[in-house]
Every structure is written in structure tokens, then in C-alpha cells.
Structure 1
Amino acid sequence: MSVPLGEALKFWAKLGFISFGGPAGQIAVLHQELVEKRRWISERRFLHALNYCMLLPGPEAQQLVTYIGWLMHRGIGGVLAGSLFILPSFFILIALSWIYLSFGQIPWIAAIFFGIKPAVTAIVLHAGVRIGKRTIYNQALKWIALASFLAIFILNLAFPLIVLIAAATGIWGSKYRPEYFSQNNTPSQDHARDSADALIDDDTPIPDHARFSPRKMAVQSALAAGFFLIPIIGLTIVFGWKTLYPELAWFFTKAALLTFGGAYAVLPYVYQGAVDHFHWLSAGQMMDGLALGETTPGPLIMVVTYVGYLAGHIGHLLGYSNPFWYGVLGATIATWFTFLPSFFFILVGGPLIESTHGKLSFTAPLTAISAAVVGVILNLGLFFAYHVFLPHGISGSISWLSLAICILAGLALFKFKRDVMSVLLACAFAGLLSYFASSLMAV
């Protein structure tokens, strides 16, 4: 017995609208629905797929959805499952980005974002600590995290260079210090339930389409290259190579290949490129985009849709009566080139990379990269804190209200284990209250 493709697509579409809570929450929903409730896949097969996706760059929850869709219904099932997981967030973020640019200067809306920005600072710092607890389990990895923090904080090294140095360290460590780079924390199966009746069971043979074939891999790789090259060539012909849209395509392709450790890992790179290098948007707009990404369904890396929209909208604001469609084009390009590698890794490289799972020579560089990512994320949190608490620079006054909101948000996250959505809503409400309070005092 198998699940009809139409029934599976209904579930993947529903999932795209309810997948709040970041990767951990999304994976928990997937486990509850697919393993416990629907019995589409067994516990062990689910965990095996999850471990594989955790080794790849890119959003692991979206890749896990793509993987299971591919396992159940071949390539078309994987493409549709992975696409439906992100499409609701894509359209929602385009609408929110337009509202943000069109009405963001209205005082009460600005007050909401004033309250959200300190929450974003606390959320990023919390993410760094949380990822650190999961990935740093010995002294060597602590030194790697510290070195990456100092490299970006003091030396201002580019994020890709830090990733390459960390990967080289991991390769060296796999040969000479393997005890420091072995992944000794595998998912616990103490609570695994009997999954003999799952449609994809522990003993279900690997389907033919999931077996490695050099010929199939070559054909699929050629198709993937076409999906990458044809849009870039078209954009270059229409707009020119050194223009916004080809730059967006190439930049987010690189970003997609650097997302080891989840969306928070790539945010520093996106920030460096979009704010510091290309000047597509400001630091404050980037923080607002992260807040919008946190409040919409889908993976947090969907913040690239917001960045792409703002880049296109703002870049064509002068001289055009309606820059909305240029923003939509920018959002589409950013999203397409961010997620294209994820589909490639699952649909093309899945059978090959799966065979390397558990080999130290393959996992050690990723372990080192994950440790380096922690230092980079903490630096991003401190950078956000500087802009939020000192909005007028080091010589200006401290925003004590922002500091208080950030501390309360941190307590909610660290001590009381509140979810991100409730923290953001509470801080947005606090910002709104501050606006009404100051308005009453001015009367």
C-alpha cells in the first residue's frame, strides 16, 4: 500500500502554512505527523533522513520534506513537497515586504518594529547559545568557535573565508586528532516506538529511483546546471552582468552553499553582503526582515525573499511609478537561487552522499564548520545589539527601553523557554505601548 501523490501534496501544502517555530519546531511537526500519526515512515528511516539532511548545507527542515517526498514519489514528489513547504512563506513575505516599505514610516508601525528589534537581538544570541550546546562538545571546538568570533569581530574576515579555514581544520583533525571531531551525539532512540506498520518501514528496500547510478546522476546534474545557468544568462542579457539581478543570483547561490548549521549560520554572510558590500538595505531594515521571517511559516532562511524584494524595490524606486514588480523579481531570484542547491543535494546527490554518512573524513569538516558558525552568530548578535542599544553611534545616548526589552526577551527565551513567536509578539506590543505612552505624555 502506498500514499497517492495527490494525498501527499495536500499534506505538504498544509505543512507550508503551519510550519512555524524554526527548524526544531518544523522537524517536531514532521515527526508527529509522518511517524506517529500518519505512519508514512518509520522512526529509524525518519532519523536516518534527518541525520543526512543535517550534514548538508541548506535548511534542514525543507530538505527533510524534499527527501521524504522524493523517497515516496520519486523526483516529482520531492520537488513538489519542497516547493509547497516554502511557497506560502514566499508570498506572505512579498506582501509583508511591500507593506513594510509602503507604510513602515507610520508612527505606530515604526513603534512595533522598535519593540521587535531588541527581541531579534535576544533571539540571535539565544540561537548562538543553543547551537553551541549542540555542536561544541570539547575544548578543541571551543577554540575554533572563539577563533571564528575573533576573526570576524576584530579582523573582519569574510564569512566564506572563515568557513574554508574551519573546513581545512576539520580535514586536518580527521587525520591527526580524530577524537576531537567525531560526532558522538547521535539522536536518542530510547523513545522510539515500534514502526513495523509504517509504509516506509525499517526493512523496506530502497526504491530503484533512490539507488545511486552514475548515468542518472550525470543527467540530473546537467538538468540542475540548466536550471542554474539559463536564468543567470537570461538576466545578464536583459540587465547586464554587473547589475542588481545577476548579482542577486550569484550572491544567494554562494549563500546557499554556506548554510551549514541552519539559517542563523548564513545570516552573517547575508548581512555582510546585503548591508556592508552591496548596500541593498540598511542594518535596521535587515533586522526588521529577520523579525518578519521569524513570524511567518517556513524556514527562517526565507528572509532572503525579503532581502531580494527590498533590493529590487529600492533599486528601482527612482524613475519608476510602480517598483513593486521589480521587488517581486528580486524576491523570486533570491529565493530560486537560495533553494536550488538544496533540491540538487537531495534529488541528485542524495544516493551518493548518503553512502558517506558516518565517515569521519566527511563529517569532521562539517563539525569544525558548525563550531566556527557559533562564533560568527554571536558576533552577529553583538552587532545587532550595538545598533539597537546605541542607535546614534558610540557617542550617542543608550536606548534604555531597547535594553530593557532585550533583557526581558532574553529571560523569556533562556529561563522560561518561551517560543520565538510569543516573544516577538510581546515585544511588538511593548513597542506599541511605548509609543502610546509617549504620545499621551506629549499631550
Structure 2
Amino acid sequence: MQTQMKPAYTLKDLCLYFLKLGALGFGGPVALVGYMHRDLVETRQWITEDDYREGLALSQLAPGPLAAQLGIYLGYVHYGILGATLAGTAFVLPSFFMVLAIGWAYVEYGGLPWMQAVFYGVGAAVIGIITISSYKLTTKSIGKDLLLWIIFAVLAITTFWFEEEIIWLILLGGVVVWFVKASPSWLRFSTNSWFPVILLQVQTSLEGRLWQIAWFFAKAGAFVFGSGLAIVPFLYGGVVKEYAWLNEQEFVDAVAVAMITPGPVVITVGFIGYLVAGFWGAVVAALATFLPCYLFTVIPAPYFKRYGKHPAIKAFVDGITAAAIGAIAGAVVVLGKRTLTDIPTLVIALATAAILFRFKKLQEPYVILIAALVGIILKVVL
């Protein structure tokens, strides 16, 4: 039985950290996983580098929102199921209440005319933030290993080219490092032992808007791999094309809300749920999206903890991590291509990246606030 040293933090400390990250953590999944590494591994040293890598690999392997799953896993590391549950809840709740409030204002006042001006500046700043986060994550996790850099490059290029994360390539990255750095005899350890497949049994014939919301968003949480980049097209196909719950402009506003609020980008499901069916629509959409990712994290977690230090598993995790970070880097380029559409947005993004690179202790919310003001000045005042 593996012995565990007493953690250097309490469960209350961890919950307070994730409450703060959920309330102030801007920049989407790339930035959020970078903040967790910076705060929990480097600065506070609550989590080891190996535990963080295992969590990142598991989060990338399993479907669902990347940052939320990593937060759940890090909560599990020292405090088990209770830690995973409380950490994940603390991370999601602040942004959920924010999108509820924005959803109420949106319905009450007939739209968000100021949103595009704010998003103009904030969206550009977010690109700068996630660029720096991706750079730090890459240099810290890959080091000078040529094989890992090759896997990183392949995933970065393919993610940029196809504009989606290709899960079989990420898995292949783990297998390649496994073969190169561990004996083929380790093949007797099947990954099926620690990565069970969970299928949510839901009666599709059930009538009622809430049941439709529950079923659709459960599919989004259970079968969409990657971050907000991957889930947005899935949501568009369902809420706009299939069910016609929202029109084009309302969906664009929903994505904008996700980007200008802190916490996981996928929390936009709460905003969409509110527009479709009010308060309970938001609750059902959020629960249906995050419950599968919670299960996909806590069920394999003990096997990762038990076998994660095994040479074969460690090699596999190293390959998965390099592939995941490559996919994240490719996603940064895709988002930048879509967001940086003119000279002012390009300048805002470059200035944000340069400032954060130079002033490493500067808090990102201040940068977001300034960018929002710049957007309003450029699009409204001028």
C-alpha cells in the first residue's frame, strides 16, 4: 500500500484556492491549467510535478472540460473523493453564478449591446494570456527531450490545421513514448484497467424541455474531448441547428459571455441553459455537462495514483502530456486567428503577452479590466 506524506495544506485551503481561481481565473482552459501549475506546483508546492502531469494526462484522455477535470484530479491527490468533489464544486460555482446574473440581465434588458465592445478588447488580451501560459507550460513540462518535442510539434500542427484536437493522435503520442522508453513486455498492463468507459443511460423519448437539455448537455460532457475550442462547435450544432433554442447572435453572445467571465469556458452552458429554460435550465445544463467529466476523473484517479509511477505508465503519461500541450499550443494559434482580426487587437494581444512576460507577478484580472476599457474606448467612444 502506497504511503502518503501529510499534505502541506488543508482541504479548506484547497477549496479557497479553487474558489479564488474560479472567481478570478481568466483566459480559458490553457491559462487555467497554467495557473494551477504556477500556483500549486511552483509557488505553494502543494502538488508535485508528477501528480500534476498525471492529472493533466488523465484530463486530456477523458472527455469533458480540461481545466475542470484537472482541478477535480488535484483535489483528489491528497483528499480523495471529498477533495475532488469540493475542489471541482468550488472551481465551477463562482463563474456559474456570474453567468446566471448575466443571463438574467440579457433576458431582462433584451440583449447585451455593450458586450461586443468589451469582448473586442478582452478577447485580444485573452490571446496574450493563453500564449504566455502555453509557453510556460511547454518549457516546464517538455524540457530538452527531442522525442517529446516532436510529438508536441505534430499535435500543434494538426490541431491548427484541422481546428480540433485529435484524440487518437494524443493517445498515439503516449504509445510512442511507451515503446521507446519502456520494454514492450509492459504491454501486459492494459490501459483498459484504469480507463473504464462510462455510458450514461438516458431515455431519449422523455418529453419536456429540461429532459432535452439534460440529454444534450450530458452528451456534450461525456463525448466531447478537449477544451472550449472543441465543445463550441458541438454546442452550436445542437442549440442552434438541431433544437433551434438560440439564434446565431444569441449563440455568439453566449460564447462571448464565456470568454469574459472567469473560470472554465464551458460554463457558457449555464448561460445557454438560462436562455432556454430559465434558472432550472441553467442548473440542469451545468450539472449534465460537468457530472460526466467528474466521473471520468474520480473513477480512474486511484489507478493513476497507484500505477502512475510505474516506468511503463510514466512513459505513456509523458507522451500524453507532450501531445496534450502540443494540442493546446495549436488551439492558441486557432483562437488567435479568429480573434486578432485587425491592428488594434493584434497590438492588445502582443502588449498583454509582453507585460505578463516582463511582470510575472502581475494578476491577470487587472489586465482583463484594462483590456475591456480599451475595447469600450475603441468601439464606443471613438
Instruction: State the TM-score, normalized to the length of structure 1.
Output: 0.62
Identity percentage over the alignment? 18
Supply the AA of the counterpart residue of 2:346. Answer: L
The secondary structure found in structure 1 opposite 2:326 is: helix
Distance 2:334 2:107 in 1: 23
Classify 1:48/1:363 alpha carbon distance in 2 versus 1 (closer, same or farther; 3 Å).
closer
The aligned counterpart of 1:204 is none
Structure 2 partner of 1:389? 340
CA gap of 1:89–1:288, structure 2 versus 1, over 3 A, is: closer
Q: After TM superposition, give the deviation of residue 428 of structure 1 in Å.
A: 1.0
Query: Residue 413 of structure 1 corresponds to which residue in structure 2?
Result: 356
Structure 2 counterpart of 1:422, one-letter code = Y
2:62: which partner in 1? none
2:150 aligned with 1:143: yes
Q: Where in structure 1 are there 5+ consecutive unaligned residues?
A: 1-7, 36-42, 178-217, 260-265, 317-321, 391-398, 439-443
The 5 A counterparts of 1:145-224 are 145-155=152-162, 158-175=165-182
CA distance in 2, matches of 1:24, 1:374: 11
**Contact 2:137–2:325 (CA<8 Å) still a contact in 1?**
yes
1:130 to 136, 156, 164: 136
Q: Partners in 1 of 2:329 and 2:253 — Cα distance? A: 18
Is residue 425 of structure 1 aligned with residue 369 of structure 2? Answer: yes
Q: Given that residues 75 and 87 in structure 2 are in contact (C-alpha distance below 8 angstroms), is that contact kept between their aligned partners in structure 1?
A: yes
Q: CA 1:356/1:384 → structure 2, altered by over 3 Å: closer, same or farther?
A: same
After superposition, the Cα gap between the structure-2 partners of 1:338 and 1:45, relative to the gap in structure 1 and judged at 3 Å, is closer
Residue 151 to residue 46, structure 1, CA distance change in 2 (3 Å): closer
1:119, 1:331 → 2: CA distance?
27
Within 1, Cα distance between the matches of 2:325 and 2:47?
A: 29
Please give the residue correspondences for 1:29-428 in structure 2 after superposition, counting only pairs within 5 Å: 53-54=55-56, 56-57=58-59, 59-70=69-80, 75-76=81-82, 79-80=85-86, 82-99=88-105, 105-137=111-143, 138-155=145-162, 158-175=165-182, 229=200, 232-233=201-202, 237-238=206-207, 245-255=214-224, 258=225, 266-275=227-236, 285-286=254-255, 288-292=257-261, 295=262, 300=263, 302-306=264-268, 308-313=269-274, 316=276, 323-346=278-301, 350=302, 352-390=303-341, 399-417=342-360, 418-428=362-372
Once the two structures are overlaid, the 10-residue window that deviates more, 161-170 or 271-280, is 271-280
Cα displacement (A) at 1:23: 4.7
1:122 positional shift: 1.6
Q: Are the equivalent residues in 2 in contact too, given 1:167–1:365 (CA < 8 A)?
A: yes
In 1, Cα distance between equivalents of 2:70 and 2:129: 19
Q: CA deviation at 1:313?
A: 4.5
Shift in alpha-carbon separation, 1:236–1:172, aligned structure 2, 3 A? farther
Distance 1:382 1:51, change over 3 A: closer
The one-letter code of the counterpart of 1:357 is G
| Aligned partners of 1:115 and 1:431 also within 8 Å | yes
Secondary structure, in 3 states, of the residue corresponding to 2:307? Answer: coil
TM-score, reference length from structure 2: 0.71
- The Cα of 1:144 is off from its aligned counterpart by 1.3
Q: Which amino acid is the alignment partner of residue 63 of structure 1?
A: Y
- Distance in 2 (alpha carbons) for counterparts of 1:32 and 1:371: 19
CA deviation after TM superposition for structure 1 residue 289, in Å: 1.1
What is the alpha-carbon root mean square deviation over aligned residues?
4.0
Task: Name the counterpart of 2:63.
Answer: none
Taking structure 1 as reference, are residues 174 and 97 closer, same or farther at Cα in structure 2, changes over 3 Å only?
farther
| Number of positions where the alignment pairs a residue of Structure 1 with one of Structure 2 | 337
The 1-side partners of 2:163 and 2:94 are apart by 36
Larger radius of gyration: 1
Distance 1:238 1:51 in 2: 43
What CA deviation, in whole Å up to 9, does each residue of 1:183-220 have, x standing for no partner?
xxxxxxxxxxxxxxxxxxxxxxxxxxxxxxxxxxx9xx
Q: 1:18 to 1:429 in 2, by over 3 A?
A: same
Mapped contact 1:125–1:377 kept (Cα < 8 A): no
Question: 1:367 offset after TM fit, Å?
Answer: 1.7
| Structure 1 contact 65–85 (Cα < 8 Å) conserved | no
* CA deviation after TM superposition for structure 1 residue 235, in Å: 6.3
Rounded Cα–Cα distance in structure 1 between residues aligned with 2:311 and 2:289? 34
